[in-house]
A and B are shown apart, each in its own frame.
Chain A
């Protein structure tokens, strides 16, 4: 399944309220009532299902305390504070943890707090430390990638399909190879050299 946060168009650091608001907005948009006999109604239904699933997944993950990656209970209070938007309290709790016992999750959470505050540079360095300390964690990686993308592109939203503009040389080669494979399957040959 796709990343549930991407489906709802929000960040993993979003508060519960933001998740709910995003869900409601999308559900309104793709509600079957809007489509009726429209030929696109099936597509909308599919989309609706996807949204429902994404929402359920996020809520389930959050109920379990900590999202993807089964985090320890050590930070669950802080996670709760961040989720409910009390970033100042969360930050003071985080700062209270002595430097030697700061692990990847600490850096991730501190990064999230800084991100919420708008301190984007420090947030970036914390996220990157978190991913360096625990490269397998999906949650940290996602947060890092998202901010990294923003830093490189400035958030240019590329229109869907804009990376497929026209037919590049690459596409043509790919097409030829595909066609060749098909032909070979059927016993023929399109490109004799391969």
Chain B
């Protein structure tokens, strides 16, 4: 009996995890800090931003939205907070899902609101994408969630109409590219890069060019990382992957060649970051770029498939510790 319960529990977890939690990895979960190199104080601040984003999501969009909380969007929130004129500061609080632990939490700010709204737009598009081309179980969950996601997107689009348009255009461009089976890596990465550029953009005129560059190169890196990770799977399923087309289906050649493109994108991210006027959280953001991204890249390139179990230990357990 217990055994069956356990199996059932695993199954439910899987559906919940694959269907909802992973939906929040809008940048595929590639953009996060590398904990061993983070200072204690910075770690505390990072957790604070993570908590605050969760709260903002909950307050604005409810519990389903909260489940899509991700490190990717935490990075985005931190980036915007780092550029803001004033710091809203931290407060002590308790997490409703973990009430025995007290923790620091960022006070509400425009950057957090922006990240939460942007997350809802992205999650909606990801849900639609999943329905279009994923496995059965995932597709089913996505279909069930679609009405909620659609509602969330509608609300978010009211606040960020321009971003909504840009994202929708990018998604269309992506689909179009896939249909035409474009072989140019630069061209294939363009929609994702544009998307991230729009997400990073801010109102400050002087920071704008560097920020856009940072977003663009980050998006490029994210796209290429995803393409690299999916190489073997895409070869098996005969699905579109620019790296496979460019290298005639040779996975290891594609992996060798993409390393250079990934490196160049990462280097450009850093160069753009250095040109920014960062007012706070410099250590955390630098950690993401100088440790988190290279570490993740090494993992993906070595072909270490981040399996579901691994995802979970990297996601769920981490999230509890965060």
Q: B-contacting residues of A (Cβ < 8 Å)?
A: 114, 118-122, 124, 147, 150-157
A154 to B298, CA, bound (A): 12
Interface residues of B (CB under 8 A from A): 184-187, 190, 193, 213, 216-217, 220, 260-268, 270-271, 290, 294, 297
A22 (CB) vs chain B CBs: closest residue = B275
Least Cβ–Cβ distance between A125 and chain B, in angstroms: 10
Question: Which residue in A114, A151, A153, A155 is a CB contact (below 8 Å) of B261?
Answer: A151
Which B residues are in CB contact (< 8 Å) with A156? 290, 294
B271 interface neighbour in A114, A153, A155, Cβ under 8 Å: A155
**Docked complex Cα distance between A48 and B187 (Å):** 43
Is B264 a contact of A118 with CB atoms below 8 Å? no
Other A-B pairs, 18, CB within 8 Å; known A124-B260, A150-B267, A155-B267: A114-B186, A118-B213, A118-B216, A118-B220, A119-B186, A120-B268, A121-B185, A121-B186, A147-B264, A150-B264, A150-B268, A151-B260, A151-B261, A152-B260, A154-B294, A154-B297, A156-B290, A157-B270
Cross-chain contact A152 with B263 (CB below 8 angstroms): yes
Nearest Cβ on chain A to B297's Cβ, whole angstroms: 8
User: Which chain A positions have C-beta within 8 A of B260?
Assistant: 124, 151-152
Return the chain B residue nearest A155 by Cβ: B267
Mostly, the A contact residues are helix
Residues of chain A within 8 A of B216, CB atoms compared: 118
Chain A contacts for B187, CB-based, 8 A: 119
Query: Complex formed: what's the CA distance from A147 to B217 in Å?
Result: 14
Q: How far is the CB of B194 from chain A (nearest CB, A)?
A: 9
Pairwise interchain contact B264-A120, C-beta atoms closer than 8 A: yes
Report, nearest first, the 4 A-B pairs whose CB atoms are least far apart: A155-B267, A150-B267, A119-B186, A154-B263
* Cβ B264 vs Cβ A151 within 8 A: yes
A151: which B residues are within 8 A, CB to CB?
260-261, 263-264, 267
Chain A residues near B220 (CB-CB < 8 A)? 118, 120
Question: How many angstroms between the C-alpha atoms of A156 and B297 in the bound complex?
Answer: 14
B261–A154 touching, CB < 8 Å? no
Q: Contacts of B271 on A, CB cut-off 8 Å?
A: 155
Residue numbers in A under 8 Å from B185 (CB-CB): 121
Set of chain B residues within 8 Å of A120, measured between Cβ atoms? 186, 217, 220, 261, 264-265, 268
Of the listed residues A119, A120, A124, A150, the one surrounded by the most CB atoms of chain B closer than 10 A to its CB is: A120
Q: List 7 A-B contacts (CB under 8 A).
A: A114-B186, A118-B268, A120-B220, A120-B265, A120-B268, A122-B186, A154-B267
Shortest Cβ distance from A9 into B: residue: B274
Query: In the complex, what's the smallest C-beta–C-beta distance from B287 to chain A, in angstroms?
Result: 14
Asked whether A153 lies within 8 Å of B184 as measured between CB atoms, the reply is: no
Given the known interface contacts A118-B268, A119-B186, A120-B186, the answer about A154 and B262 at a Cβ–Cβ threshold of 8 Å is yes
Closest to B216 in A: A118
CA of A26 to CA of B260 in the docked complex: distance in angstroms?
31
* CB of B111, distance to nearest CB on chain A (Å): 24
B186 and A155 within 8 A (CB)? no
Q: Which residues of B contact A153 (CB under 8 A)?
A: 263, 267
Of the listed residues B213, B220, B263, B270, the one surrounded by the most CB atoms of chain A closer than 10 A to its CB is B263
- Closest B residue by C-beta to A116: B213
In the complex, residue of chain A having the shortest beta-carbon distance to the beta carbon of B210: A18
